[in-house]
């Protein structure tokens, strides 16, 4: 019954925040989209801090009891904030400005709060995190609201800036690390611990794996810089695609070498990962971290690619932390990266001057075929095996998430191929 209540509260919350935004837009028609959204965000911050404060069971120890079952007040508080985060993530897609750090923050928070509600525990830690996160939000938005109201570079704006800086520093940089430490050292579900440290790996990960990840990030970065120096006239994206192609080839090779039995590549399921599988996953994790950072310096921002990277990092990170599901994760890596060289080849040949040529068309069709077979056929099978087997929930969720993202890309690829073939046919007809 409580589960239904929480679900309904989230749905009603999303609708309520949306209605609130529409009403504010109607009330202030001359103000920007962002202005109205910041007012909604401010309202949420005040509500969240108030509810979080009211849900604390003992102010002598605000985090007590730790790793315990969430109280009804805590569940409702988290549900209301979850509804806001879902609303705001959707709302931001309609704005002209897409902030990568804000999108990452929302995704991490949604996964973390969603996990907390699903487990129905860690309420004390999560409510405390919500309090620390939202206490500075009104001052953050006040700064921008004042600017739009014409108070830029005034004493009032300066006071808002300083207030935000002070409160943010104390709440996030002092209270935040302490809360993350408490969450990690308590017996909380792994996904809650992962979210507490911003998608970092669990402390119990072996030093060898951490070293591979660290060295890997540095190595991919150095490779990118070397390619940039060797090909100074090529674009940022061109050089990054070469690094990505190198990783894809390496990942497929390592994944192939780590398969224990080619008669059943996904066997043994839900078992402890072998050393080869762990190394393979660590190498790919290092690449994903490098690429996620590298893409922030590029001019083109891709939301779906960012989501793919975050989902992959969480999934592989969880697999490494659990030390199991190696067969499934390596199989997923194999089917995911098999089409990547063809993906990048399409863009590389364009920059090399072969756009709209037979070579470009061949690369397009090759990519479409390999992607369709690997992601939609083999990928569906790997996802099914992962979900059916006794794997950790977070790994099952990531498998489903990647399949859904692959399906989204699949439909885009089908449209692309149809367009290319139709265009090619029209061109040939004109020449004839």
Question: Do residues 251 and 176 both lie within one domain?
Answer: no
pLDDT at 394 > cutoff 80: no
Q: Is the pTM of this model over 0.85?
A: no
**Contact between residue 221 and residue 288 where contact means Cβ atoms under 8 Å apart:** no
Instruction: Kindly tell me the burial class for residue 207, based on how many C-beta atoms sit within 10 Å of its own C-beta (0-12, 13-18, 19 or more).
Output: exposed
Q: How far is residue 69 from each of residues 2, 122, 181, 240, measured CA to CA in Å?
A: 13, 6, 19, 46
Please report the pLDDT score of residue 27 as a whole number: 92
Nearest-angstrom CA–CA distance, 14 and 252: 42
Answer yes or no: is 431 within a domain: no
The mean pLDDT value for 329-357 works out to 89
Please report the pLDDT score of residue 430 as a whole number: 55
Question: Do residues 193 and 310 both lie within one domain?
Answer: no
pLDDT at 194 > cutoff 50: yes
Domain containing 195: what range?
6-201
Please report the pLDDT score of residue 203 as a whole number: 37
Question: Do residues 264 and 188 both lie within one domain?
Answer: no
Beta-ladder partners of 2: none
Beta-ladder partners of 324: 272
Percentage of residues in the chain having pLDDT higher than 90: 23
DSSP code, position 54: H
Token duo for residue 29: 């028609």
Question: Do residues 217 and 191 both lie within one domain?
Answer: no
**Which ranges in 189-235 belong to alpha helices (H)?**
190-196, 207-230
Model confidence pLDDT, tens digit, residues 228-240:
889 989 998 899 9
In the chain, the number of structural domains is 2
Instruction: Kindly tell me the burial class for residue 393, based on how many C-beta atoms sit within 10 Å of its own C-beta (0-12, 13-18, 19 or more).
Output: middle
Model confidence pLDDT, tens digit, residues 5-51:
788 888 899 999 999 999 999 999 999 888 999 999 999 999 999 99
Please report the pLDDT score of residue 208 as a whole number: 65
Beta-ladder partners of 121: 69
Please report the pLDDT score of residue 246 as a whole number: 94
Mean per-residue pLDDT over the chain, rounded:
82
Answer yes or no: is 188 within a domain: yes
Question: Do residues 96 and 41 both lie within one domain?
Answer: yes
Concatenated DSSP letters for 13-38?
HHHHHHHHHHHHHHH-TTS-HHHHHH
Question: Do residues 121 and 13 both lie within one domain?
Answer: yes
Other beta carbons within 10 angstroms of residue 204's beta carbon come to: 10
Domain boundary among 175, 201, 227: 201
Model confidence pLDDT, tens digit, residues 232-281:
899 988 999 999 999 999 999 999 999 888 888 888 888 888 888 999 99
Please report the pLDDT score of residue 193 as a whole number: 61
Other beta carbons within 10 angstroms of residue 176's beta carbon come to: 19
Please report the pLDDT score of residue 199 as a whole number: 38
Token duo for residue 390: 């006794």
Residue with tokens 């839900």: 270
Q: How far is residue 102 from each of residues 154, 290, 303, measured CA to CA in Å?
A: 27, 19, 12
Q: What is the separation of C-alpha 372 from the centre of its chain, rounded to a whole number of angstroms? A: 24
Answer yes or no: is 16 within a domain: yes
Question: Do residues 248 and 175 both lie within one domain?
Answer: no
Beta-ladder partners of 272: 324
Percentage of residues in the chain having pLDDT higher than 70: 88
Answer yes or no: is 432 within a domain: no
pLDDT at 205 > cutoff 50: no
Model confidence pLDDT, tens digit, residues 87-106:
988 887 776 555 555 666 77
Answer yes or no: is 269 within a domain: yes
**Long-range pairs for 90-96 at CB < 8 Å and ≥24 separation?**
91/18, 91/21, 91/37, 91/40, 92/37, 93/303, 94/33, 95/33, 95/34, 95/37, 96/33
Please report the pLDDT score of residue 77 as a whole number: 92
Beta-ladder partners of 402: none
Nearest-angstrom CA–CA distance, 74 and 66: 13
- Which comes out higher in pLDDT, residue 35 or 423? 35
Please report the pLDDT score of residue 190 as a whole number: 62
- Angle between helices 236-258 and 326-337 in degrees, nearest 10: 140
Please report the pLDDT score of residue 202 as a whole number: 37
User: By 3-state DSSP, what share of the chain in percent is helix, strand and coil, each rounded to 5?
Assistant: 80, 0, 20
Question: Do residues 45 and 185 both lie within one domain?
Answer: yes
Domain boundary among 201, 221, 244: 201
Answer yes or no: is 430 within a domain: no
Other beta carbons within 10 angstroms of residue 29's beta carbon come to: 7
Question: Do residues 292 and 383 both lie within one domain?
Answer: yes
Question: Do residues 21 and 132 both lie within one domain?
Answer: yes
Flag the least confident range among 32-41, 195-204, 329-338, 402-411. Answer: 195-204
Question: Do residues 150 and 17 both lie within one domain?
Answer: yes
Domain boundary among 170, 201, 232: 201
Answer yes or no: is 339 within a domain: yes
**Contact between residue 328 and residue 395 where contact means Cβ atoms under 8 Å apart:** yes
The mean pLDDT value for 298-306 works out to 69
Residues 6+ apart with CB under 8 A from 200: 194, 317
Nearest-angstrom CA–CA distance, 228 and 236: 8
Question: Do residues 181 and 155 both lie within one domain?
Answer: yes
User: What's the first-to-final CA gap in the chain, in angstroms?
Assistant: 70
């Amino acid at each position: 019954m409580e589960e239904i209540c929480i679900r309904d509260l989230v749905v009603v919350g999303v609708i309520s925040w949306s209605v609130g935004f529409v009403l504010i837009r109607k009330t202030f028609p001359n103000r920007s989209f962002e202005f109205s959204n910041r007012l909604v965000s401010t309202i949420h911050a005040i509500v969240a801090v108030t509810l979080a404060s009211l849900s604390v069971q003992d102010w002598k120890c605000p985090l007590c009891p730790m790793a315990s079952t969430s109280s009804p007040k805590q569940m409702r508080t988290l549900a209301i904030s979850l509804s806001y985060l879902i609303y705001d993530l959707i709302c931001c897609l309609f704005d002209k400005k897409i902030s990568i750090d804000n999108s990452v923050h929302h995704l991490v928070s949604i996964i973390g709060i969603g996990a907390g509600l699903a487990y129905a525990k860690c309420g004390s830690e999560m409510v405390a995190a919500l309090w620390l996160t939202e206490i500075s939000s009104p001052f953050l938005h006040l700064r921008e609201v004042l600017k739009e109201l014409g108070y830029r570079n005034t004493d009032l704006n300066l006071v808002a800036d300083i207030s935000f800086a002070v409160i943010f520093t104390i709440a996030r940089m002092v209270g935040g690390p302490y809360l993350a430490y408490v969450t990690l050292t308590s017996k909380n579900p792994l996904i809650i611990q992962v979210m507490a440290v911003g998608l970092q790996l669990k402390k119990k990960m072996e030093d060898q794996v951490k070293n591979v990840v660290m060295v890997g990030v540095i190595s991919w970065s150095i490779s990118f810089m070397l390619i940039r120096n060797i090909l100074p006239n090529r674009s940022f994206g061109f050089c990054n695609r070469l690094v990505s192609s190198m990783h894809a080839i390496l990942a497929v090779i390592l994944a192939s070498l780590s398969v224990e039995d080619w008669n059943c590549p996904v066997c043994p399921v839900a078992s402890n990962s072998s050393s080869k599988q762990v190394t393979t996953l660590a190498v790919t994790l290092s690449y994903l971290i490098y690429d996620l950072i590298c893409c922030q310096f590029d001019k083109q921002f891709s939301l779906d690619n960012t989501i793919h990277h975050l989902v992959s990092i969480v999934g592989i990170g969880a697999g490494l932390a659990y030390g199991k599901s190696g067969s499934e994760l390596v199989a997923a890596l194999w089917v995911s990266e098999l089409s990547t060289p063809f993906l990048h080849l399409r863009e590389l040949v364009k920059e090399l001057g072969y756009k709209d040529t037979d070579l470009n068309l061949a690369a397009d069709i090759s990519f479409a075929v390999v992607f369709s077979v690997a992601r939609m056929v083999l990928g569906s099978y790997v996802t099914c095996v992962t979900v059916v087997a006794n794997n950790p929930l977070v790994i099952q969720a990531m498998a489903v998430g990647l399949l859904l993202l692959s399906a989204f890309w699949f439909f885009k690829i089908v449209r692309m191929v149809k367009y290319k073939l139709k265009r090619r046919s029209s061109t040939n007809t004109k020449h004839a």
